[in-house]
Amino acid sequence: MPHYLVAAPQDGLVAQLEHIAARTRLPLIAYQRGQVAFTAESLKRIADIPNVVGLKDGHSDLDRLQRLTLAAPEDFLFFNGASTAERQVSVG
């Protein structure tokens, strides 16, 4: 999970995942919440990292989430991490 209480540039978010992924064979799930919000372009970049398998969303911004799901590969996983998750419907 990135440092979500401070804003980070997209390149930094991607670099952090690349750094972690290079040091493990475990599947990784990126997490966006607080100040961390991936763009569709950044999502494409992290989806290209072999062991990054999905994204957990804590924003509940359905417009952004739709753009991300459309940019992601078909087998990329999405998880709802919003505090109101039990009341939301999945998009995509």
Task: List active site positions.
Answer: 31, 56
Task: Report the alpha-carbon distance of residue 23 to residue 9 in Å, rounded.
Answer: 22
Q: Which helix (H) or strand (E) holds 69?
A: helix 62-71
Q: Which residue has the tokens 């290079």?
A: 22
Residue 55 is classified by DSSP as: E
